[in-house]
Amino acid sequence: MVQSYAMKRWHLALGFAISAFFLYFALKGLEWGTFWRALKHANYWWLIPAVAVYFVAVGVRTWRWHYLVRPIKRVPLRVMFPIVAIGYMGNNIYPARAGELLRAAILKRRAGVPISASLSTILVERVYDGVVMLAFVFLNLPEVSRLSARSGFMGSIQSLAIWGAAAFIGALVVFLLAAMFPRQTERLLRWSIRFVPARFREATLGIGLKFLSGLEALSSPTEAVMVFLTSLLIWLLETGKYWLVMHAFPFHVSFFALMLMNGVVNLATTLPSAPGYVGTFDTPGIAVLTAYGVPKGIATGYTIVLHIALWLPITLLGAYYFTREGLSLAELEKEERQSQAVG
């Protein structure tokens, strides 16, 4: 959360450049008449059940984080749900997924959970999310080939999926091994800090041990499978939102096609972008739908409405909870600087 001014400017500049690049492809060849008609005649009543399903997914996501944090400290779900909503808000309006650091900082303030331990649980979440997203893509590999052939966008999606699978699954294996063999991992950590300058060794060791404590929920295969199944449920519910919003527009694709769209767009949003994942969400989504023969104007209208429906309700809820906390980003950054000074 605390970054130098130059670093913040660099992140913003890179994010806006990547968003502009993606938006160029989203708007290239767009039939504006079809697009505006799709928006004008959409049945927006479908957004009500869609948003409701999405908040169920947020509730399941809160339970998953509660489950991962439980070995460190038992924090009630009623405490964690507002923090999760605040994290969504931070990711949606600040660059570089600042919401993840934001919820770790607030959890420390509310429940005394060390930030490094919280961040390890959040990183585990992201890795599991990536594995599920890749599973959605690999389940529809024939459709990925179709996307490459017909959409004219990102023709190497299969290669990217393979590299992504190697990265996410590799990280998951490392986490699982670290959780299942904590003593050996701690010995490896203590050995490796010899390469850290002497004045930083104690602080580095403390942070590393706290980080390892955040992996305790993966200490048995049963618990690891539980986290995976919960992650799968979260993303199936989110795909359910895609499916419900689809009914507001004059097209139909299968639930599996929307699983593919969900996987592709969420993998794309791991790239730096302008706040709110502008472009990195929309362009891949439009490309998937056009690969299924949906007119680009309709696909664009649907994807933009879906994006807003995913972004706006949780951002407003997160902003409400953040305001109710009586906090500001400046206060949290000040607290973090003080903690770093003590370290």
Q: Which tens digits make up the pLDDT trace of 53-93?
A: 999 999 999 999 999 998 889 999 999 999 999 999 999 98
Tokens of 17: 């450049």
Higher pLDDT among residues 27 and 186, named by residue: 27
Neighbouring C-beta atoms of residue 43, cutoff 10 Å = 10
Distance in angstroms (rounded) separating the CA atoms of residues 3 and 333: 9
**Percentage of the chain exceeding pLDDT 70:** 82
Instruction: Name the phi and psi angles at 315, rounded to 5.
Output: -70, -40
- Predicted TM-score (pTM) of this structure: 0.84
Residue 172 neighbours by CB under 8 Å, 6+ apart: 127, 128, 131
Identify the DSSP state of 214. T
Structure tokens given for 74: 């038992």
The pair of structure tokens assigned to 300 is 């664009």
Does 173 have pLDDT greater than 90? no
- Over the stretch 195-245, which tens digit does the pLDDT of each residue have? 778 777 777 767 676 667 667 777 778 888 898 899 999 999 999 999 999
Q: How many CA atoms lie within 13 A of 262 on its CB side?
A: 28
> pLDDT tens digit string along 237-252?
999 999 999 999 999 9
Mean pLDDT computed over 135-152: 66
